[in-house]
Structures are given as C-alpha cells and as structure tokens.
C-alpha cells in the first residue's frame, strides 16, 4: 500500500522538475552578475597596467578609434597602485526584450571608493552594451570614466548610443 502512494508523489515531483527546468531554452543574462564580472576584470587590468587586456574589453567601434591606445595608456598612468579595498559596484541597466529574447542590454557599472596602496581613491564608471542585436559592433565597453579624489577625470573611449 505504501508503494502505491509513493509512486504518484514521485511522478509528480519528476514532472514538476521537468517542466520547471526543461522549457526555458533562452539564455538568461543577469545585469548584476554581468556588472560584477566586468568590474572585476576591468579593475584587474587597471591595477596591473594591462593595456591589451583593457583594450580587449572595448567594443569593435571603440577599439578602432585612432586615439584608443593613447587613451588607455593615459588611464593606466592616471590609476596608481594596487587595489586594497572598494565599494560594491552598482549596476544600473537598460534592457529591451522582443518575443522573449533580449535584443538590447546595456549596463553602467559604477564602482566608488576604490582605495589603492598608493593612498589614492578613485571612482570608476563604465558603459557596456552586453547585447545589441541591431548593432553587434557596439557590444562591449564604449567608455570608461576614472575620477580621482580631487575630481580630476580620465576618460577612455566615448559613450555610444544604441
């Protein structure tokens, strides 16, 4: 008798798990996770003076700018030291979905109170088109703004509209 009562319960659980996990085949992009991952990557490149790594984060349009290499070198010179602490990034985003599919996703991570071992404090804000179905050449970072404690800014790239 116990065997017969467990079988429907087990079948119901298996059916619910199948329905809950098997029907969604579209990729999910979490803006917060995307912002965290890209912020972490960007800060590693800045503190290690990695020009090529930093350049690889930019979208195709920005990478093709005739002044991008000089702008990156200026940013690496502007950002002094190894990071010892920072605030958690905030990640505002804009998203467009059509027929259940993400066609546009832009994030703008903002990392404040970045303290370095050279006794410097910075704020880094950057703009990333994670998905742009109409203009895939715009996918990636378009602009990075680094601000020091005195309010001086170093800007790499230029913000790109949709």
Question: Residues 65-122: pLDDT tens digits?
Answer: 999 999 999 999 999 999 999 999 999 999 999 998 999 999 999 999 999 999 999 9
Residue 13 lies in a domain: no
Instruction: Give the residue numbers spanning the domain of 118.
Output: 30-157
- The answer on pLDDT for 54 being more than 60 is yes
pLDDT for the residue numbered 139: 98
Identify the CATH number of the domain in which residue 72 sits. 3.10.450.50
Question: 16: pLDDT confidence band, cut at 50, 70 and 90?
Answer: low
Q: Does the residue 70 lie in any domain?
A: yes
Which DSSP symbol is given to 89?
Answer: P
Task: Specify the DSSP element, H or E, that contains 46.
Answer: helix 31-47
CA angle 20, 25, 26 (to 5 degrees): 115
**Residue 24 falls inside a structural domain:** no
Residue 26 in this model has a pLDDT that exceeds 60 = no
* 162 found inside a domain: no
Provide the number of structural domains found in the chain: 1
Q: Is residue 22 included in any domain, yes or no?
A: no
Whether 17 is covered by a domain: the verdict is no
Q: With respect to residue 12, please indicate whether it lies within any of the assigned structural domains.
A: no
User: Containing H/E element for 119?
Assistant: none
Task: Using the predicted structure, report yes or no on whether residue 5 has a pLDDT greater than 60.
Answer: yes
**Per-residue pLDDT tens for 128-154?**
999 999 999 999 999 999 999 999 999
How far is residue 121's CA from residue 149's CA, in Å, rounded to a whole number? 5
């Amino acid at each position: 008798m116990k065997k017969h009562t467990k079988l429907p319960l087990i079948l119901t659980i298996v059916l619910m798990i199948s329905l809950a996990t098997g029907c969604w085949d579209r990729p999910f992009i979490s803006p917060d996770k995307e912002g965290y991952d890209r912020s972490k990557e960007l800060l590693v490149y800045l503190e290690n003076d990695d020009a090529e790594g930093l350049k690889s984060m930019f979208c195709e349009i920005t990478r093709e700018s005739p002044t991008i290499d000089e702008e990156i070198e200026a940013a690496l010179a502007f950002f002094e030291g190894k990071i010892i602490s920072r605030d958690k990034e905030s990640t505002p985003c804009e998203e467009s979905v059509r027929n259940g599919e993400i066609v546009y996703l832009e994030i703008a991570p903002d990392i404040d109170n970045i303290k370095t071992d050279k006794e410097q404090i910075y704020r880094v804000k950057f703009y990333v088109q994670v998905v742009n179905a109409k203009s895939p050449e715009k996918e990636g970072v378009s602009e990075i703004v680094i601000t020091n404690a005195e309010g001086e800014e170093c800007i790499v790239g230029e913000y790109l509209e949709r």
